[in-house]
Amino acid sequence: MSFRWWALFSIIALIVSCESIPEFDDQPVHLKYPSWFPTPVIPEDNALSTLRIELGRRFFYSTEFSKDRATSCASCHLPSAAFTDGRKTSIGVHGKTGRRNAPSLANMAWMPYFMMEGGVPTLELQALAPIADTNEMSLEILELAERLNDNRYLREMSLAAYRREIDPYVVTRALASFQRTFVSADSHYDRYEFQGQMDQLSESQIRGRDLFFSRQTKCGGCHTDPFLSDFDFHNIGLYTVYSDSGKERVTYASTDAGKFKTPTLRNVALTGPYMHDGSMQTLEEVVAFYNRGGEDHPNKDFRVQPLGLSEEEQKDLVAFLHSLTDWNFVQNATFLPLE
């Protein structure tokens, strides 16, 4: 080959290798949240930035995360359902059925620990569990990193965001960065309770609110403001015998059998079915369960007792729970995949 042709091919190869890889501009991001939320703790080594969040968003929707390349994080956490999936228990790799109901990912920046038994201490570590779980993604994280590095665009974005190619450190931290932006704080209840907009709740919802935080129902004892969760662990008497032992899996203490982390009730009207195993389909069913006082279990929380609510009072409670929906949250375009 003549020098002229060799030079021409070299120039073409250089152009092809450089196309579609832009110069990345990373900027710090200050998380926006309302005044009635406390300041979130964000690790120094994973401060929020535009590229870290964007990389996390691409990871969240990537099916490279599963062994069969068919399942992504978003498969079980849909933005339109407040990052749940509408199933009793989620479906993962090769069509396998998971063990638990997919939880909402709203306001993860403020959660002190993760998983329903609280076995994961940080949001950065949380992603490791579903990636490795044989019923969810069933993939070695080092293999996942190799797959993702094959995408030159993602690799270059990782270098710009974290000064390193994609590895387990980058995978877990980018996902955490994206998930920390899932702030939900604009329901009708928020506007009524924290912003003084008295026209935001109906009369039925106000009655339901008053019942919810009353000494009679004690709902607000575990579902505390502003996250409508105390992030503690309780046995609510769902069963007399639990096939999933909950917190006992972490502590090995029989007194923790059947205890699960209090779920947030934000957007709860969109996150059914309910309970850790998805065993209840509707909010009406959940309210009726608490009205009966649950099943007998030695670890049942003392506050779960028959309530004696009338049908009208139960309807008011359900109406209040509907006021916790944040429509701007579930329609937020920044949570959606890039086209």
Whether 273 and 215 have beta carbons less than 8 Å apart is answered as no
pLDDT of 282 above 70: yes
158 and 206 housed in the same domain: no
pLDDT of 15 above 50: no
51 and 112 housed in the same domain: yes
**HSE-up (13 A, CA, CB side) for residue 328:** 8
Give the mean pLDDT of 274-293. 98
Q: Classify residue 197: in a domain, yes or no.
A: yes
Number of structural domains (the chain) is 2
CATH number of residue 132's parent domain: 1.10.760.10
Among candidate residues 143, 163, 183, the one where a domain is terminated: 183
Domain extent at residue 50: 17-183
pLDDT at res. 23: 83
Q: Classify residue 10: in a domain, yes or no.
A: no
Sign of CA pseudo-dihedral 39, 40, 43, 49: negative
Q: Classify residue 2: in a domain, yes or no.
A: no
194 and 177 housed in the same domain: no
Among candidate residues 159, 183, 207, the one where a domain is terminated: 183
> Who has greater pLDDT, 82 or 8?
82
pLDDT at res. 19: 46
Whether 217 and 309 have beta carbons less than 8 Å apart is answered as yes
pLDDT at res. 120: 97
197 and 161 housed in the same domain: no
What the block records as the tokens of 186 is 């604009």
**Residue 300 φ/ψ, nearest 5 degrees:** -60, 135
26 and 156 housed in the same domain: yes
Name the 3-class secondary structure at 292. helix
Among candidate residues 129, 163, 183, the one where a domain is terminated: 183
pLDDT of 138 above 60: yes
| Burial class for 18, CB neighbours closer than 10 Å (0-12, 13-18, 19+) | exposed
Q: Classify residue 73: in a domain, yes or no.
A: yes
The rounded distance, in Å, linking the Cα atoms of 136 and 99 is: 9
The amino acid that residue 96 corresponds to is K
Q: What percent of the chain has pLDDT over 70?
A: 93
What the block records as the tokens of 228 is 């409508």
Rg (CA), the chain: 23
130 and 204 housed in the same domain: no
179 and 193 housed in the same domain: no
Q: Classify residue 166: in a domain, yes or no.
A: yes
From 331, 337, 310, 339, select the one nearest 56 (Cα to Cα). Answer: 337
Q: Classify residue 5: in a domain, yes or no.
A: no
Q: Could you tell me the pTM of the whole model?
A: 0.92
Give the mean pLDDT of 228-234. 98
pLDDT at res. 288: 98
124 and 32 housed in the same domain: yes
pLDDT of 10 above 70: no
pLDDT of 8 above 70: no
Reported as a single tens digit per residue, the pLDDT across 258-276 is: 999 999 999 999 999 999 9
162 and 54 housed in the same domain: yes
pLDDT at res. 3: 45
pLDDT at res. 338: 82
The rounded distance, in Å, linking the Cα atoms of 156 and 154 is: 5
Q: Classify residue 53: in a domain, yes or no.
A: yes
DSSP 8-state symbol, 176: H
Q: Classify residue 7: in a domain, yes or no.
A: no
The rounded distance, in Å, linking the Cα atoms of 121 and 113 is: 4
Cβ partners under 8 Å of residue 82, min gap 6 = 104, 105, 106, 184, 266, 267, 270, 271, 326, 329, 330
149 and 273 housed in the same domain: no
Name the 3-class secondary structure at 80. helix
* DSSP H helix total and E strand total for the chain: 14, 2
pLDDT of 9 above 90: no
Whether 184 and 82 have beta carbons less than 8 Å apart is answered as yes
153 and 288 housed in the same domain: no
The rounded distance, in Å, linking the Cα atoms of 268 and 10 is: 59
138 and 218 housed in the same domain: no
pLDDT of 324 above 90: yes
Alpha helix positions (H), the chain = 3-18, 50-60, 73-76, 123-126, 128-132, 141-149, 152-162, 168-179, 188-195, 203-212, 248-251, 283-292, 311-322, 327-330
